[in-house]
Structure 1
Amino acid sequence: MLNRLKQQPDAAEPVSFFEFWPGWLFYTPIVAYWIALGVRYRDFGMPTAANPLISTGGLCGESKSSILDMAGPYARRFIAPYVILDTDRDDLARAEAALDAAGITGPVVVKPDIGCNGTGVKLARTRAVLGDVLAEFPRGVRLALQRLITWEHEAGLFYIRHADEPRGRITSVTYKDVPVLLGDGTSTVSELLERDPRTRLLPHIYRPRLVDRLQDILPKGGRLPLVFTGNHCKGSVFRNGINDITPELTDVLDRIMRDFPEFHFGRVDVKFRSVEALRQGKDFEIIEINGVGSEATHIWDARTTLREAYATQFHHYGEAFRIGAENRRKGWKSTTLPAGIRLWLEQRRLLRSYPLND
């Protein structure tokens, strides 16, 4: 069976009927809406001006570390420390030197500096494992090595602030639960996967990472996390946490995001100690910050209807166009279509080169 952090009752179905539609099918209406807005605003790349100091506004091909590097002194206090490494030769020695100089000890998360959906994200609990992880990446790739945040729980907080607004707001909270198999002392991992109502529907997501353990028998009460990265398409279970948006959390996040120059639209991924602490704006650390290419990921809660999902998507992309237009009036420019396509193609090339994520 699976064990998950529970804050709401389970959905009637383990997977919504559209949750794992092919991307082309789910996103076709959204692309059509984007095109319609592009015609209206006379600029199909208008949202890229919503965060004008980030490449493409964070739509694609942006450097994750360059966004975090923009943090002012207040925001920096909330970001889990990290270093950058360009793969080449003597990767482990150079990584160890950088980590030691930054005072980062213990496990680190290795992730591509350009990427999406958790592709290539790996956990290195020891320096020896770190060497093996670095060797899995192609040469000439920039990686971020970030201190592992030990708090168990993860959330995505969507933040919007219009160009003429002194304060921003949180429009979405998504809890990201890592599914965990609980052993019974007699069943194999394969049998446990087949028995669970969710994992048996999604063998292509869970089984490839467990290919060497499918015949293992977990001891009674033993726990086997099925994924590491908090990404829906990689197997994490998403839940809508909209009821946990509080003035206290909004105030703290708004102060953090206003410490990033000209940031107006995107999702902040965090790990936190408890829901109670998060509601108070306490005890959380930032993993990464995503721009206009990010989603309000609560739409992947199995309780969300298709109509609600599209309404959420249309609202958020509409806001991105409006903020981009506001910034254009202030003199900022959007990314041109040729430049955007070039960066998108480069990102796709890099994604194909990364190893399977943990």
Structure 2
Amino acid sequence: MTDMSTVSTPASSPAKAPSPLSMFEFWPGWIFYTPVVMYWIMMGLRYGDLSLPTAANPRIETGGLCGESKSSILNMAGETARRWIAPYTLVETGHNDTARAIQAMDHAGLGFPVVLKPDIGCNGTGVKLVADAGALAQALATFPRHVSLMLQRLIPYSHEVGIFYIRHPDEAHGRITSMTYKEVPLLVGDGRSTVEELLHADPRTRLVPQIYIPRLRGRLADVPAKGEALPLVFTGNHCKGAIFHDCTADVTPELEARIDAIMHDIPDFHFGRIDVKAESAAALLRGEKFEIIEINGVGSEATHIWDSRTTLRDAYAAQFMHYRETFRIGAKKRKAGWKPSGAMTMLRCWLRQRRLLASYPMND
């Protein structure tokens, strides 16, 4: 296997051209997630605590449901896990922040280019690719003051993948329950059409131009040369325009063992998604040559549901299964003496995250 966008299918399945979008892929969030919220409430009533899943990863604020610091999770990594995490450092915006950021980069052994992103955030909001000191100063100026930002080495691999991992506290080994290949959509110039014309001619992007146009507004009238490829998004987030492919069927014992060893080295981590970049599909499936971008907790989802071939029924089945597992794990951790965050803490962290997200600049 050399191309992760080639997704395994059962031998008995007839060949079928995939649709550009699934029926529900870009429904408003309140429509798609209402049944998920209702299921969460039902499970909370059953277990006697709506915040019980936050105990699934009890050393992380709210278990990683919302408002957690990305760096605080990575900071918990032991020696084994650290070898697989892309190097990073932190800077707080404010007086002389560019000089302080460069000093922090030097201390961490980071050079340009780097990825600049909020330490508290989600869905790729505010993520910037920074090429040099001048670009760093410009990017820092777009954030509000006194906000903590991560500077992380730009991983030199092209295959971005989301891997969902679950391990119950009474189990010796965890398992991968979802794997998603994240494809950056490209427009390819013909030497005649403008970026806007190419956008409206593409089978997929023409269906959701509102996702791409704000980011491309300064280039809509440009005419790319024949054969020139224009990436439409930098961050591998579905809601920002990346294309997701379900590769769960391709998970190998070697990859599962590698991820299990890494996640065992994050204390009391039992549920979440690991976002990585790999040199190649083959290397990843051997459990080799990949680096971790970030580790997400209870608030993450199994992103294979956004494959355009996933049915609505299968998407909800995956959502319900994963959140059911958070309650089961949370119940076991509660029995072991860990305490859930509580509903008010969840609400306070969600409101803080919401305020921060509204203040961040548009991502690259």
Q: TM-score, normalised by structure 2?
A: 0.96
Using a 3 Å threshold, how does the CA distance of structure 1 residues 11 and 59 change in structure 2: closer, same or farther?
A: farther
Counterpart amino acid of 1:156?
A: G
- Give the distance between the partners of 1:10 and 1:313, measured in 2 at CA: 25
1:210 matched residue in structure 2:
216
Post-superposition offset of 1:12: 2.9
Cα-to-partner distance string for 1:172-206 (whole Å, 9 max, x where unaligned): 00000000111111111011001001111111101
CA–CA distance in 2 between the matches of 1:126 and 1:178? 23
Contact residue 4 and residue 247 of structure 2 kept, 8 A = no
Q: How does 1:1-358 map to 2 (within 5 A)?
A: 6-8=5-7, 11-358=17-364
Identity of aligned residues (%): 63
Residues paired across the two proteins, number: 355
8 Å CA contact 2:4–2:281 kept in 1: the answer is: no
* Change over 3 Å in CA distance of 1:138–1:11 after alignment to 2: farther
Whether the 8 Å contact between 1:11 and 1:303 is mirrored in structure 2 is no
Say what the alpha-carbon RMSD is for the aligned residues. Answer: 1.1
Instruction: Name which of structure 1's ranges 87-96 and 8-17 shifts more when overlaid on structure 2.
Output: 8-17
Quote the Cα distance in structure 2 between the aligned partners of 1:294 and 1:6: 22
8 A Cα contact 1:159 1:171, kept in partner: yes
Query: 1:5 Cα shift?
Result: 6.7
2-structure distance, mates of 1:356, 1:301: 24
| CA distance in 2 between partners of 1:253 and 1:170 (Å) | 8
Query: Following TM superposition, by how much is the alpha carbon of 1:106 offset from its aligned partner in structure 2, in angstroms?
Result: 2.2
Alignment TM-score, normalising by the size of structure 1: 0.98
Work out whether residues 4 and 181 of structure 2, in 8 Å CA contact, stay in contact via their aligned partners in 1. Answer: no
Give 3-state SS (helix, strand or coil) of 2:103's partner: helix
Query: 1:330: Cα distance to partner?
Result: 0.2
Separation in 2, partners of 1:163, 1:81: 29
Alpha-carbon offset, residue 31 of structure 1: 0.7
SS in 2 for 1:207: helix
Residue 159 to residue 246, structure 1, CA distance change in 2 (3 Å): same
Which one-letter code corresponds to 1:7 in the other structure?
T
Equivalent residues of 1:50, 1:264 under 8 A apart: yes
Whole-angstrom CA distance in 2 between matches of 1:242 and 1:210: 32
Structure 2 Cα separation of the partners of residues 192 and 10 of structure 1: 25
Report deviation, 1:248.
0.1
Q: In the alignment, is the contact (CA less than 8 A) between 1:156 and 1:269 conserved in 2? A: yes
Q: Which ranges in structure 1 are unaligned for 5 or more consecutive residues?
A: none
Aligned to 1:288, the other structure's residue is in SS state strand
CA deviation map 1:317-343 (0-9, x unaligned): 000000000000000000111111011
Give the secondary structure class of the aligned counterpart of 1:16: coil
Confirm or deny: 8 A CA contact 2:121 2:353 kept in the other structure.
yes
SS, match of residue 50 in structure 2: coil
Contact 2:5 2:245 in 1 (8 A): no
Q: Is the 8 A contact 1:248 1:281 kept in 2?
A: yes
Q: Any idea what the Cα deviations from partners look like across 1:94-140, whole Å, max 9, x if unmatched?
A: 01111011111121100000010000011101121111101110101
Q: Which amino acid aligns with 2:117?
A: K
What CA distance in whole angstroms lies between the structure 1 residues aligned with 2:354 and 2:290? 31
Deviations 1:18-61 (A, max 9, x none): 00001111011111111110011001011000000000000000
Contact 1:11–1:302 (Cα < 8 Å) also in 2: no
* Consecutive unaligned residues in structure 2, runs of 5 or more: 8-14
